[in-house]
Amino acid sequence: MTAGVSPLDRLVAEAEIRQLVARYAVATDRRDLDALVALFVPDVRVRRDANGHDALRESFAEQLRSVGVTILNVGTHQIDLQGPDDATGHVYCKAEVQDGDRWIHQAIRYDDTYRRVDGVWLFVRRIHQLFYGAEVGASPLGLPPANWPRNHDGWGTLPAADPTWQEFTGPEATGLG
């Protein structure tokens, strides 16, 4: 047991931290930079010479413009409370990433530091650790529209249907890169 944290408070903290991680994945995939940046402490360190949400937003925009569609699926999540307002964690993630004309699978572990600020759990630091990235055999890029539910295969409506994706990529973007 973590000193100073009741079992109920521990369970609530862990649930809130898991939601923080899920919100990161969804905001990333939707290219909702406002939501993504809001998941971090206000004084987040971005580089040695840059701190804060504005610098983080710029960094995320640069990183996410270098790839197309992303699909982050978080799974195993170890959370270690250090006290009532501080925690660390390891999050496993299987990702699918559009890299130009290629479709990549990745196995990732995020090494996280969390802090509760004004009652809300936020990221202090998030380190992306890569197990591997590999091109898949059959890429979904270039598939005809699925027209779900009529067809089970083909290109779907996401992420192009998300308003935040449209704002990030521009009105001409189809989600195909």
Structure confidence by residue, pLDDT tens digits, 55-71: 999 999 999 999 999 99
Tell whether 21 is covered by a domain: yes
Q: Which of 123-149 are b and which e, b meaning 16 or more Cβ less than 10 Å from the residue's Cβ? A: bbebeeeeeeeeeeeeebbeeeeeeee
Question: Angle at the Cα of 66 (from 61 to 68), degrees rounded to 5?
Answer: 100
Instruction: Name the pTM for this structure.
Output: 0.88
The pLDDT of residue 173 is 59
The pLDDT of residue 177 is 41
More confident residue, 7 or 1: 7
The pLDDT of residue 174 is 52
Total domains in the fold of the chain: 1
* Domain residue limits at 24: 7-157
Tell whether 148 is covered by a domain: yes
Tell whether 175 is covered by a domain: no
Instruction: Examine residue 159 and say whether the peptide bond preceding it is cis (omega within 30 degrees of 0).
Output: yes
Tell whether 174 is covered by a domain: no
Does pLDDT of 150 surpass 50? yes
* Residue 55 near residue 33 (C-beta atoms within 8 A): no
Tell whether 172 is covered by a domain: no
The domain spanning residue 90 has which CATH number?
A: 3.10.450.50
Question: Angle at the Cα of 102 (from 68 to 149), degrees rounded to 5?
Answer: 70
Give the ranges where the chain is alpha helix by DSSP (H): 7-30, 33-37, 53-65, 163-169
Both tokens of 46, joined, read 């971005």
